[in-house]
Amino acid sequence: MIHFRILTAFWLLAFVSVSCTEEVPEVPLGEFEKGVLIINEGAFGANDGEVYHYDPVSGDIKTDIFESKNGRPFAGLIQDMVEAEARMYLVANTGKVEVVDPKDFASLGAVDTDLNISRSIAVANQKLYISDWGPYDENFNSPESYVAVVNGLNGGTISKKIPVPSRPEGLIVAGNYLYVACAVAKKLQIISLATDAVNSSQDVEGTPTKLKIIDGRLYLFARDAGNIYFHEINRNNFNIQSSIKIPLADATSNFAVADGGEVYVLTSTGWPDYNDAVAKVSMNTASVVNPTLFTGSGFYGIGFHPISKEIYIANNNGFQSNGTVIVINIGGQVVETIEAGRGPSGFVFK
């Protein structure tokens, strides 16, 4: 009996050892699960927004990947692109949301047509939350702004519209709440995900546009004519507990967070000169490190590649033709220029 137990234990140990050393086969990445996705907003009136894919290793560019996969044009002005729950959501400010598989951009569904001027999207509890300006009134104001709720990750019909202050932009889910930046109203709106109802509202200094978690802290980005703000939100009481105010004139709402508290912000003097620049600022010192790290005209979006540590600048070329992407290093020198579509405006790095 003792010999039998020893032999059994030996074979069990051998089986476990072999099992532990066996390599688990890796699932190959999909065609678009690595590289850089370039969001091309499209031209107003033409509604020709699309997505390009760029491979930094080979230099290859694949154009119009939504249409190539699905056999139809996207047919909208792409405002935002968000990946969540193994899906990619393409939000058009022409009132549509398409859902695709991030592996190959095959369509998984869409939000039924009941949106107005959709801006961004967040996902929680198997639901979609879409910020929307609502219809314009006779003076082109947006008094009927809302967050649309869709009960299904692949889209479908809108089950509810939660009224929010004028012109909601960026959204973010943190804990059991949805945080909404309402630009024109200059308010931060907090919605309970348990009830899909407004929980509280906070006034904001500057025009708030985007929310982002940086080093584990929740920040609301805002700007005015002479400054940018990173308002830190207390997730326990929803108050703005502190603010980083950085003097930076002509800042746009486009910025990219890098390492060590550094942020790259696009600035523009606007019409008629359109003197644009990439400004480098520091959240740690609340100061402008370099207001003109890189200058030009037509800057429309920006991103920071977390691996190569390079800055991607989307240039719309005045919407006169297709745009380009200018890649610079952290010293401001041009590394390369990449072909883009109409109105390139943002990036997703994979």
Q: What is the DSSP string of 188-242?
A: EEEEETTTTEEEEEEE-SSEEEEEEEETTEEEEEEE-SSEEEEEEE-TTT--EEE
**What are 8's two structure tokens?**
């059994």
Q: What angle do CA 43, 48, 53 make, to 5 degrees?
A: 110
32: DSSP letter: T
Please indicate, yes or no, whether the overall pTM of this predicted structure exceeds 0.85.
yes
Structure confidence by residue, pLDDT tens digits, 277-287: 999 999 999 99
Contact 189, 237 (CB under 8 A): no
Q: In this structure, which CATH number among 2.130.10.10, 3.40.50.1460, 3.30.420.40, 3.30.300.130 belongs to the domain 29-76+253-350?
A: 2.130.10.10
CATH number 2.130.10.10 given to 79-247: yes
Given this model, what pLDDT does residue 126 score? Answer: 97
Contact 332, 349 (CB under 8 A): no
pLDDT digit string (tens) for the chain, length 350 residues: 434 343 344 344 444 444 444 565 666 788 999 999 999 999 999 999 999 999 999 999 999 999 999 999 999 999 999 999 999 999 999 999 999 999 999 999 999 888 999 999 999 999 999 999 999 999 999 999 999 999 999 999 999 999 999 999 999 999 999 999 999 999 999 999 999 999 999 999 999 999 999 999 999 999 999 999 999 999 999 999 999 999 999 999 999 999 999 999 999 998 888 899 999 999 999 999 999 999 999 999 999 999 999 999 999 999 989 999 999 999 999 999 999 999 999 999 99
CA distances from 304 to 36, 258, 259, 275, 328 (A): 11, 6, 9, 22, 10
State whether residue 274 is helix, strand or coil.
coil
Residue 12: enclosing H or E segment and its boundaries?
helix 2-21
Contact 144, 163 (CB under 8 A): yes
Given this model, what pLDDT does residue 96 score? Answer: 95
Strand partners, 230: 221, 244
Residues of the chain with CATH 2.130.10.10: 29-76+253-350, 79-247
Given this model, what pLDDT does residue 2 score? Answer: 39
Given this model, what pLDDT does residue 113 score? Answer: 80
The C-alpha atoms of residue 318 and residue 297 are separated, in whole angstroms, by 8
